[in-house]
Amino acid sequence: MRTASVRLRATLAATLVVALALVVVTLVLAFSLRGTLFHNASAAATQKALTAAATTTSLGVVEAVPAQRALLDPDVAFFTPGETPPAWLSAADDYAMAQVVVEAPQGGETVIVGRASLDVADDALRTLTQVLLPGVPLLLFVVAGMTWFAVGRSLRPVAAIRGKMADITASDLHQRVPVPESGDEIAALAMTVNSTLDRLESAVEQHKRFVADAAHELRSPIATLRARLELTAPPGLAEEALADVDRLQTLAGDLLLLARLDAGEPLRTSEVDLGQVAAETALRWCERVTLDIEPDVVVSGVRGHLERLVANLVSNAVRHAASEVVVRVRATPEGLASLEVLDDGPGIPVESREAVFDRFTRLDEARARDAGGAGLGLSIAREIAVLHGGTLVAGDGGFFAAFPLQTFAGKR
């Protein structure tokens, strides 16, 4: 399962943290505001009751009838313990209440109750709710957008580094990833990657030089050895020794060619008739090859390289065929030039069809001395195919190559 990107995870984390913080702040603000407003309402009710008590006591009307006392303030009620309280005392949910007990000069007690409306508190809480309900989601949206933008901008150099690393192959290790000017951890990562590429390029270049030099130096003594064997060795011994020399010459040539292919030298391409190359090369290797060639299948490439590709595939097929080898060249509707080299041999097991292209790899049944080859032929063939923008795979019955079609007469 694919994990979420760093950018998405950072955005979700930031948004979640802000959302939790806003919830906590909103609850604290709502409860604090509600407590303050209710406390103020209670204080106002108490103040009304105290003011009414002071006023009635100074005027001497504490024992006046309730109707007269009520005229002092509609939000103040006067009643003695034996009287019926005013009806509005039952609406306690809408008001904050406070009461004061006043003693009359002639004895007895009068209860004075003040009230203050809670409408102001309710209106304030309602306004707060109306502001927060749309405001919180909008703020979260802004936070998510800014985080997405900021993280994306911060990770842009990482994307550039990743893109450049994806373009770098063994043949162009001279390329380097861009180093941002930010001077942060990403810049340090880019410099570390470039330093690693420097060391890798140096090691690969040393390896290529070694292979090329070794192959080149082997050619002269092998040629000298061959000449001496042909001139001085007994016929029977010379035959076996010359066969070994042939293998050494082939191996040295293969190593030298691989070194050149690995070096990524630019190709001097031209239009090449793939069918003609396949037919001529196949017949040079074996007369019992069956040709199925479509004319005018033209690709852009190096003729010598393509001849070597066909020769390696045909020689491999001839060694393993029971009785027949077929070379087929076609132009596909997808605009590709298709080359197939088929044989009626035992075939390659499915699990080994990719491994056969590894260098110095031969299947167990092909390791006898008389099987020939050092396990480089198919590697060279694939390198040539890839160098020409094509592909080479092993399948049921043989090998299948495809190249971009340059020209196909009659179907343009």
One domain, residues 69 and 119: yes
Residues present in the chain in total: 412
pLDDT tens for 178-225 read 888 877 788 888 888 888 888 887 777 776 676 666 666 666 777 777
Report the predicted TM-score, pTM, of the whole model to 2 decimal places: 0.51
Whether residue 150 lies inside any domain: the answer is no
Query: Strand runs (DSSP E) across 231-288, as ranges?
Result: 270-273
Per-residue tokens: 212: 């090329």
Alpha-carbon dihedral 34, 40, 42, 47, rounded to 10 degrees:
-170
Q: What is the dihedral of CA 84, 87, 92, 93, to 10 degrees?
A: 150
Mean pLDDT within 105-114: 69
Q: How far is CA 99 from CA 26, 75, 111, 203, 259, in A?
A: 34, 12, 7, 95, 104
Share of the chain above pLDDT 70, in %: 75
Helices and strands (DSSP H and E) totals, the chain: 8, 11
286 and 337: one domain? yes
173 confidence band (pLDDT: 50, 70, 90): confident
Q: Identify the bridge partners of residue 339 per DSSP, sorted by sequence position.
A: 329, 401
Q: What is the residue whose two structure tokens read 């090329």?
A: 212
Q: Higher-confidence residue: 316 or 107?
A: 316
13 pLDDT higher than 80: yes
Q: At what angle do helices 274-285 and 303-320 cross, to 10 degrees?
A: 40
Q: What is the pLDDT of residues 296-330, one digit of tens each?
A: 899 999 998 999 999 999 988 888 888 889 999 99
| pLDDT(235) > 70 | no
* 411 pLDDT above the threshold of 50: no
Helix (H, G, I), strand (E, B) or coil at 287: coil
- The verdict on residue 297 lying in a domain is yes
- The reply to whether 237 and 314 lie within a common domain is no
Measured CA to CA, the distance from residue 212 to residue 258 in angstroms comes to: 8
pLDDT higher than 80, residue 250: no
Between CA 374 and CA 248 the distance in angstroms is: 9
Please state, in angstroms and rounded to a whole number, the distance separating the CA atoms of residues 256 and 272: 24
At 85 the pLDDT is 67
pLDDT for position 276: 93
- Mapped onto helix, strand or coil, the DSSP state of residue 391 is strand
Alpha-carbon distances of 194 from 55, 167, 180, 357, 359, rounded to whole Å = 91, 14, 12, 30, 28
DSSP for 306-359 reads: HHHHHHHHHHHHHHH-SS-EEEEEEE-TTSEEEEEEEE-SS---GGGTTGGGST
Q: What is the pLDDT of residue 2?
A: 56
Cα separation of 166 and 176, whole Å? 11
pLDDT band at 87 (very low <50, low <70, confident <90, very high): low
Distances (CA, A) of 14 to 144, 146, 154, 156: 7, 10, 15, 19
Contacts 24+ apart (CB under 8 A), 35-41: 37/118, 37/120, 37/121, 37/124, 37/125, 38/96, 38/118, 38/121, 40/121, 41/95, 41/96, 41/116, 41/117, 41/118, 41/120, 41/121
In this structure, the answer to whether residues 370 and 354 fall within a common structural domain is yes
Same domain, 126 and 252: no
The model's pLDDT over 379-409, given as tens digits with 9 standing for 90+, comes to: 889 989 998 899 999 998 899 999 998 754 4
- Are the C-beta atoms of 44 and 185 separated by less than 8 Å? no
pLDDT of residue 274: 93
Half-sphere exposure of 28 (CA within 13 A, CB side): 6
Least confident window among 65-74, 85-94, 117-126, 312-321: 65-74
pLDDT at 65: 43
pLDDT of residue 370: 45
Query: With 70 as the cut, is the pLDDT of residue 263 above it?
Result: no
Local confidence band at 92 (pLDDT 50, 70, 90 cut-offs):
low
CATH number of the domain encompassing residue 371: 3.30.565.10
**Which has more pLDDT, 76 or 232?**
76
Q: Residue 196: exposed, middle, or buried by beta-carbon count in 10 A (0-12, 13-18, 19+)? A: exposed
E strands, 43-143, where? 76-79, 95-103, 109-117
- Number of domains the chain is built from: 3
Residue 172, in any domain of the structure: no
- 369 and 296 housed in the same domain: yes
- Whether 285 and 324 map to the same domain: the answer is yes
Query: What's the CA angle centered on 315, arms 328 and 349, to 5 degrees?
Result: 80
Mean pLDDT of 122-131: 82
Domain membership flag for residue 1: no
The residue ranking higher by pLDDT, 410 or 244, is 244
Mean pLDDT (the chain) is: 78
pLDDT over 90 percentage in the chain: 16
Q: Which helix (H) or strand (E) holds 101?
A: strand 95-103
pLDDT for 368 equals 45
User: Cβ of 331: how many Cβ atoms within 10 Å?
Assistant: 23
Paired tokens of 125: 């809480």
Give the C-alpha separation, 39 to 127, whole Å. Answer: 19
Distance CA 224, CA 242 (A): 12
Per-residue pLDDT, 71: 47
Distance CA 35, CA 29 (A): 10
Q: Return the exposure string of 281-302: e unless at least 16 CB atoms fall within 10 Å of the residue's CB, then b.
A: bbeebeeebeeebeeebbbbbb
What mean pLDDT is predicted for residues 137-165? 85
Is the distance from CB of 374 to CB of 380 less than 8 angstroms?
A: no
In this structure, is residue 153 part of a structural domain? no
In a domain, 177, yes or no: no
In a domain, 64, yes or no: yes
Does pLDDT of 338 surpass 90? yes
Q: The domain containing residue 236 runs over which residues?
A: 185-260
* Whole-number Å distance between alpha carbons of 216 and 36: 95
Q: Are 278 and 375 found together in one domain? A: yes
pLDDT band at 366 (very low <50, low <70, confident <90, very high): very low
The better pLDDT of the pair 86, 289 is held by 289
Q: What is the CATH number of the domain that holds 209?
A: 1.10.287.130
Q: Check residue 372 and give its pLDDT.
A: 52
